[in-house]
A and B are shown apart, each in its own frame.
Chain A
Amino acid sequence: MSTDSRTAIFAAIRANRPNIQPPLPDVPLFDTDAPADLVPSFVTMLEKMGGSVLEAKNSDPVAALRAAITDKGIIATCVPELHGDPSLQIRTIRPDMTPTSLADVEIGVVRAAFGVAETGSVCLTDDELIVNTAGFLPQHLIVLLDPKQIVANLHHAYNRPEMRDHNYAVFQTGPSATADIEGVLIHGAQGVRSLRVLFCPATAQ
C-alpha cells in the first residue's frame, strides 16, 4: 500500500539521515563574462549542437519562413506569423487536436519563449506549442525566436517565469540525435530531424 510505504519511507529517512545541518548554498549567476550581444554566441552554440539559422533576406523573416515551407508537404503552424491555409497544406494547430494527429507533419513552425546563449537552446512551452507533440512529432522544426529574448546561460534560464508557470517546458538544442551505435551521430532519433531558428521579433498580439 502506498500510504503504508509513505509512512515507512519517511520514518526510515528520519531514523537514518546523517545528523548534520549543512546549509543550502546560494547559486551565483556566473554571468560576469557574458557579452552584451548574446546573438552571436547563441548562433555559435546552436550550430555546434547541430541546429542552424534560417537566414532572412532583406530583414523580412516572414518572407523567409514562407519560402522555407513552400512545396515542402504538410506544414503545421502555432504562430500568428503563418496562418493556416488548406490549399497550401498549412494547418493551424488548435488545442482540440489529438497529439498523434501531428504525426504526418513534415515541418512544424513554433515560437520559442526564449533562447539560451550558453547552449544554443530554445525554450518551448505548452502555451507556444498548443499541442505539445508539435515540438517533436513533425519531421523538421522551424523555431521563431525574438533575438531580445536570449539569456546568457542556464542560471538565467532557470530564473525565467516560464519555468514556474508551465506544465511542460523543454530546452530543445538542435535536432533530436543519437550516437548509441559506435558513437556515430544520427540526426532524427525519435524527434525532429532538423531544427532551424528564425530570428523574428514577437508581434504584439
Chain B
Amino acid sequence: MTEQRKPETPAGRTSEGAPASLTHGAGASITMPARGPEPQPRGAVIRGNHPIDQAEAAKRFMAAPDHLAMHDQRLWDLRQKRDRQKDQIEEWEDLRQLASDIKTHTLTHLDTYLEMFEKNAKANGVHVHWAKDAADHNAIVLDILRSKNATRLIKSKSMLTEECGFREYAAEHGIEVVETDLGERIQQLDDEAPSHVVVPAVHKLRTDVAAVFAKTMGTDPNDSDVIHLAAHQRNHTRPLILSADAGMTGCNYAVAETGSVVVCTNEGNADLSANTTGLHIVSAGIEKIIPRLEDAAVFVRMLSRSALGSPITQYTSHFRGPRKGGEMHIIFVDNGRTDRLGLEKFWTSLKCIRCGACMNTCPVFRRSGGLSYGATYAGPIGLIIDPTFNRHKYSTLPFSSTMNGSCTNVCPVKINIHEQIAGWRQVLAENHEIPAFKKSMMKAAGMLLASPRLYRASLPLADSALRHLPRFIVYNRMNTWTRGREMPHVPKETFHQWYKKNRGRNGKKS
C-alpha cells in the first residue's frame, strides 16, 4: 500500500468553525483539525472467558495520539452540543423526571404492556414472536427469511442484533447481511464491532475508513476526503438495497396502545430497510415497550438532544403495520433482561434508551475508545449492564470509572449509573471476582477509611509525601491512577487543618 496523503477535508472549513449549514444535526460544531494517517489501535484482546483487560486496550488507544485527540474532541463536542440543546428547553428536567417515571411504571407492569402491544400489533396484521435468548432470536429470524427464500437482508443499526451475534450467525447460514448505516457498514466491512451505540465508527480516523473502503470496495486508499468516502458507500450500497429480499430494523420504542414501532435514524436507512422489500423484521428488547403515544413524545424530545445535541433525528419513523402487499414481523427478545429485572439494585438500568450521552461525557470512555471494553455495551452504561451477561468475563469493567457521576447527571432517564457502578464493585468483591492486588489495596484503604482518626492522621503525611517524593515513585506501575493522567496538585494543608486554623473550635470565622 502506498503512503496515505494527509487528509484534506477537516470538518470545519474556516478557522471560526464549520459553516453554519454543516453544523446541524449529528455534525461537529467545531473545527476539527486534519489528523492521521496513523495505525488504528484495536480493541481489547478477547481471551475466552478471561476477564477483559480494559486498561491494557486503553493504554494502546492512548498511545495513538491522533486517534485519541480526534475521539476525545468529537465526543466532548457532542456533550457540549447536548448541553446547548437542553438549555433551550425550559422543561428539560421535567422531561427527564417524566421519562424516568414512565419507565418505572412500565417496567413494573411489563407483562401488561407487552400483552397489550401483542394484541394491538396482531390486530394490525403484524406477526409477533418471542425469543428467550440470542440463539432463539437468531433461529426465528432465519426461519422467517427461509420461509420467503430470502438470502440478502438489508439492515439498519440495532444494538440488540449485536448483542445476539446475529451478523455472524446469518453469515454461517448463507444470509448476506448489508448494514445500511454508514458507521455500522464501516465496522461491518472492517470486521469490527461498533464502538459506540450511536456513532459506531467514532474511534476511526477518516484515513482508517479510506483504508477499509480501499480493501473492500476497491476505492483509492489515498483519498480520505469524507465527502468522497460517504459517496462511495452510498453508491456501493444502493444497488444492494434495491436488490435485497428482506429488511430488518431495531426498535427505539414499542408503543403498547397502538402496537406500533418507533425507529430513529439520521440517514433514513430504517425507512429504506423497512419499506423497500416486502418483508420487514423488527428486533426489539422487551424493555423497549412504552404505554402510550404521548409517552413517545417525551422520549423522542430527549433522545437526539442527549445523543448528538440535535433537536431530533432527521428521520423518526413509525411502523404500525406492514406496507401494502408486505409482511411485518416483530421479535421480542429477553436475553437476560428478565433476570436483570429481578436485581434489586440494578433493575433500573433497563430504563436505558441507548442515547450514548453517558459515553460522550465519560473521561474514561473518551480516552480509551469503546472497543477497549471488549463487550457489546461500552462506557458507563456498559459497566452496569455487561456484568449481567457474564460476571466473570466483565468483572473488571466496573472499575473503569473515576466515579465522577457525570454519566448520572446527563442520563435522560435518570439512571443512577455511578451508584450502580459502585454497587457492582461491591457485588463483584463479595463474589471474589476482583484481582488479588486490587483486593489487598482496597482492604488497606478500607481500614484507613473506616477510622476517621487514622484517616485524618494519614492525610498530611500522604500529601507531604506526594509533594516531596521523586516522580518515579508516585508514577509507578502499582499506582494505576497515574497511568495516562497527571496527579492533581497537592494542597499545602488538609481541609481539617485549614478549618481548625481559620474557624477554630466553634466554627466561627476567627
Chain A residues engaging chain B, CB cutoff 8 angstroms:
2-3, 5-6, 8-10, 12-18, 20-25, 27-28, 30, 33, 45, 48-50, 95, 99-100, 103, 118-121, 126, 132-133, 135-137, 153-155, 157-159, 163-164, 166-186, 188-192
Known contacts A5-B136, A22-B101; is A181 also within 8 Å of B201 by CB?
Answer: yes
- A27→B294 contact, CB < 8 A: yes
- A22→B267 contact, CB < 8 A: no
- B132→A5 contact, CB < 8 A: yes
- A13→B298 contact, CB < 8 A: no
Complex CA distance for A158 and B202, rounded to whole angstroms: 32
Complex CA distance for A178 and B27, rounded to whole angstroms: 8
Complex CA distance for A50 and B24, rounded to whole angstroms: 7
- Which residues does chain B contribute within 8 Å of A190, judged by CB atoms? 180, 234, 237-238, 241, 267-269, 272
Known contacts A16-B338, A135-B271, A163-B318; is A27 also within 8 Å of B266 by CB?
Answer: no
Known contacts A9-B286, A27-B294, A183-B32; is A16 also within 8 Å of B24 by CB?
Answer: no
Closest to A14 in B: B111
- Which residues does chain A contribute within 8 Å of B22, judged by CB atoms? 184-185
A116 to chain B, nearest CB (A): 8
Complex CA distance for A18 and B183, rounded to whole angstroms: 38
- B101→A191 contact, CB < 8 A: no
Closest to A21 in B: B108
B201 to chain A, nearest CB (A): 6
Docked complex: B281-331 residues within 8 A CB-CB of A: 286, 291-298, 300-301, 308, 310-324
A152 to chain B, nearest CB (A): 12
Candidate in B205, B226, B269 with the most chain A CB atoms within 10 angstroms: B226
B451 to chain A, nearest CB (A): 37
B235 to chain A, nearest CB (A): 11
- Which residues does chain B contribute within 8 Å of A180, judged by CB atoms? 26, 181-183, 186, 199-202
Candidate in B25, B106, B182 with the most chain A CB atoms within 10 angstroms: B25
B392 located at the interface, meaning its Cβ lies under 8 Å from any Cβ of chain A in the complex: no
- A167→B130 contact, CB < 8 A: no
- B338→A99 contact, CB < 8 A: no
- A181→B323 contact, CB < 8 A: no
- Which residues does chain B contribute within 8 Å of A10, judged by CB atoms? 111, 114-115
Q: Which 7 A-B pairs have the closest CB atoms?
A: A191-B268, A185-B27, A183-B28, A16-B342, A180-B183, A12-B338, A189-B267
- Which residues does chain A contribute within 8 Å of B98, judged by CB atoms? 25, 27
Known contacts A158-B294, A167-B321; is A179 also within 8 Å of B314 by CB?
Answer: no
List 7 A-B residue pairs with CB atoms under 8 Å apart, sorted by A's residue number. A18-B108, A99-B276, A118-B311, A121-B316, A158-B296, A170-B271, A185-B25
Partner of B11, one of A95, A154, A182: A182
Chain B interface size, under 10 / 10 to 19 / 20 to 34 / 35 or more: 35 or more
- A49→B25 contact, CB < 8 A: yes
Complex CA distance for A167 and B318, rounded to whole angstroms: 8
- B267→A176 contact, CB < 8 A: yes
- A18→B267 contact, CB < 8 A: no
Complex CA distance for A89 and B362, rounded to whole angstroms: 53
- B108→A182 contact, CB < 8 A: no
Docked complex: B81-140 residues within 8 A CB-CB of A: 90-91, 94, 98, 101-102, 104-111, 114-115, 124, 129-132, 136, 140
Candidate in A14, A15, A180 with the most chain B CB atoms within 10 angstroms: A180
Closest to A99 in B: B276
- Which residues does chain B contribute within 8 Å of A50, judged by CB atoms? 21, 24-25, 314
Known contacts A132-B271, A186-B226; is A181 also within 8 Å of B180 by CB?
Answer: no
Known contacts A13-B110, A27-B294; is A177 also within 8 Å of B267 by CB?
Answer: yes
- B311→A2 contact, CB < 8 A: no
- A100→B124 contact, CB < 8 A: no
B404 to chain A, nearest CB (A): 24
B446 to chain A, nearest CB (A): 31
Q: Mark B4-30, 1 if CB is under 8 A from A, else 0.
A: 000001110000001001111111100
- Which residues does chain A contribute within 8 Å of B297, judged by CB atoms? 27, 153-155, 157-158
A99 to chain B, nearest CB (A): 5
B466 located at the interface, meaning its Cβ lies under 8 Å from any Cβ of chain A in the complex: no
Known contacts A25-B98, A25-B105; is A181 also within 8 Å of B206 by CB?
Answer: yes
Known contacts A25-B98, A177-B267, A191-B315; is A133 also within 8 Å of B276 by CB?
Answer: yes
Complex CA distance for A99 and B102, rounded to whole angstroms: 37
Docked complex: B186-229 residues within 8 A CB-CB of A: 186, 199-202, 204-206, 209, 226-227, 229
B72 located at the interface, meaning its Cβ lies under 8 Å from any Cβ of chain A in the complex: no
Complex CA distance for A191 and B272, rounded to whole angstroms: 8
B72 to chain A, nearest CB (A): 12
- B27→A136 contact, CB < 8 A: no
- Which residues does chain A contribute within 8 Å of B105, judged by CB atoms? 22-25
- Which residues does chain A contribute within 8 Å of B347, judged by CB atoms? 18
- Which residues does chain A contribute within 8 Å of B94, judged by CB atoms? 28, 30
Partner of A189, one of B129, B206, B234, B318: B234
Complex CA distance for A17 and B314, rounded to whole angstroms: 36
Partner of A132, one of B102, B124, B200, B275: B275
- B230→A178 contact, CB < 8 A: yes
B145 to chain A, nearest CB (A): 15
Closest to A7 in B: B130
Complex CA distance for A135 and B26, rounded to whole angstroms: 21
- Which residues does chain B contribute within 8 Å of A103, judged by CB atoms? 238, 242
B131 to chain A, nearest CB (A): 6
Closest to A178 in B: B182
Closest to A52 in B: B21
- Which residues does chain B contribute within 8 Å of A119, judged by CB atoms? 311-312
- Which residues does chain B contribute within 8 Å of A192, judged by CB atoms? 268
A159 to chain B, nearest CB (A): 7
B339 located at the interface, meaning its Cβ lies under 8 Å from any Cβ of chain A in the complex: yes
A142 to chain B, nearest CB (A): 16
- Known contacts A24-B106, A27-B295, A168-B275; 18 further A-B pairs (Cβ under 8 A): A2-B131, A13-B341, A17-B109, A33-B90, A48-B311, A50-B21, A50-B25, A137-B276, A164-B320, A167-B319, A177-B25, A178-B267, A182-B74, A184-B22, A184-B28, A186-B227, A189-B230, A192-B268
